[in-house]
Amino acid sequence: MRWFSLVVVSTAIVFAQPKPISLAEAEAIALRNHPGVAAAELTAEAQAQVPQQVRSALAPQVGAAASGAGATDRARIAAGQLQNPIIFSRLGLGGNVTQLLYDGGRTKLLAQGADARAKSEKENANTARAQVLLQVRQAYLAALRTQAVLRVAEQTVAARQLVLDQVTALTDAKLKSGLDLSFAQVSVSEAKLLAAQAANDSQAALADLAAAMGVTEPAPYSLAEPPPLSALPPNSNELLPAAMRNRPELAARRLEWEAAQRLVAAEGKLSQPTVSGVGAAGVTPVHVAGIENSYYAAAGVTVSLNFLNGGLFAARRNEAALRARAAEQRLRELENRIRRDVAVAWLNVRTAEERVELTEQLLRRSTQALELAQARYDLGLSSIVELSQAQLAKTAAELQQTAARYDYTAQRAALAFQTGLEFQ
């Protein structure tokens, strides 16, 4: 029974161990599992079927039919729409073929517009992928930051507990007052509160990471630090050409404008005549005696030309032209927004980089201040208040330095998204 308990305990320990995962692995999992990516890709695949639907009008339309009728002798139709008034008793089997011969190129233009819309939807799927990757990177870096904050909090608890132990021993020896002991106890309690909050934030960040990855159940991941980043360009203008070239939503907007222009051209062909060839052939095994041949075949050409339709075609042309102009303005609006977003993202990166340098300086100085305050307190030259303030200053500096370091990486991820470049 003991060996069984040992196996259960060891198995639980194995499954409780954090699962190591890198940023690249988290991104790959998200692209496989995230429902937003799957929905966008399925929508793009569905839109890719539309061009063939439009082009089908250019292919021969072949069908088959069977029809029969029974009528009294010398029957005639005397009312209703215009038609052949003579009804013959018969049973007929046959096929028919229809082929569009000419429509001024309108169907071809519509097919080109459908192609552009299908490509636009594919770029929208790429946009969804890029947005999911940005969410994963931000969630991954946020989880790394909370884990780093948790380590700082645990180290703070250990350091302050050591001071509390020293003050307790000195108080027991009547070398320090109860006030010093109270301040030391308060410092330890504050550190424990910080650690408890950091532990909660770390678990919440892992839950956010699991959601960004499209995973239903969060896991205790062991996150690896991302690789070092390349140097930042000296100004944002160098990144604009890449953004204008690589942003998938901008490519989608250009394709939408192209599709709108194709529709304008297609609607301009509405007044052109439509010419179609038609043919039919079959057999009538049952027919009246007056029809000698059991087989039939016929072919012809139909020409359709609409003269008056209450201004329908003119309204459709105007609508298409106005929608094309609106698509052009939306394209210009997105280009302006991308220019602004790239500039702001670059400035945010520069500011985050400066914060990293400043917080490192702050941490070094607060560490030195704490060491001096500890030495002065050990020598009896200062009070516990000075030591507590130095401890608080060092803890705050460590937290700010940790936040600044991961905020810089997160801002670089946002800049990569804005420019459409790889996060490196």
- pLDDT, one tens digit for every residue, the chain (424 residues): 444 343 333 333 334 577 888 999 999 999 999 999 999 999 999 999 999 999 999 999 999 999 887 777 667 777 766 666 777 777 889 999 999 999 999 999 999 999 999 999 999 999 999 999 999 999 999 999 999 999 999 999 998 898 888 888 888 888 788 888 888 888 899 999 999 999 999 999 999 999 999 988 777 888 888 888 888 888 888 999 999 999 999 999 999 999 999 999 999 999 899 999 999 999 988 777 767 778 889 999 999 988 888 899 999 999 999 999 999 999 999 999 999 999 999 999 999 999 999 999 999 999 999 889 888 888 888 778 888 888 888 989 999 999 999 999 999 999 999 999 888 7
- Residue 382's pLDDT is 79
Burial of 329 (0-12, 13-18, 19+ CB in 10 A): exposed
**Whether the Cβ atoms of residue 401 and residue 358 lie closer than 8 Å to each other:** no
- Residue 424's pLDDT is 77
Give me the amino acid identity at 321. Answer: A
**Whether the Cβ atoms of residue 281 and residue 97 lie closer than 8 Å to each other:** no
- Residue 171's pLDDT is 85
CA distances from 348 to 15, 327, 417 (A): 41, 31, 13
Residues paired with 278 in a beta bridge: 98, 300
**Whether the Cβ atoms of residue 88 and residue 291 lie closer than 8 Å to each other:** yes
- Residue 15's pLDDT is 40
The domains found in the chain, sorted by start residue, are 26-66+109-419 (1.20.1600.10)
Q: Cα dihedral sign for 310, 313, 314, 316?
A: positive
Compute the C-alpha angle 180/181/187, nearest 5°.
Answer: 90
Antiparallel, parallel or unpaired: β 221-223 and 19-21: parallel
- Residue 134's pLDDT is 95
**Whether the Cβ atoms of residue 127 and residue 418 lie closer than 8 Å to each other:** no
- Residue 16's pLDDT is 52
- Residue 81's pLDDT is 67
Hey, what long-range contacts does 67-72 have (CB within 8 A, 24 or more apart)? Answer: 67/91, 67/92, 68/92, 68/286
> Which of 2, 16, 6, 24 shows the shortest CA–CA distance to 225?
24
Pair of tokens at residue 337: 């927004």
- Residue 98's pLDDT is 94
CB under 8 Å to 178, separation ≥6 — which residues? 171
| C-alpha–C-alpha distance, residues 417 and 391, integer Å | 39
| C-alpha–C-alpha distance, residues 4 and 60, integer Å | 75
**Whether the Cβ atoms of residue 98 and residue 60 lie closer than 8 Å to each other:** yes
229 backbone dihedrals φ, ψ, rounded to 5°:
-95, 155
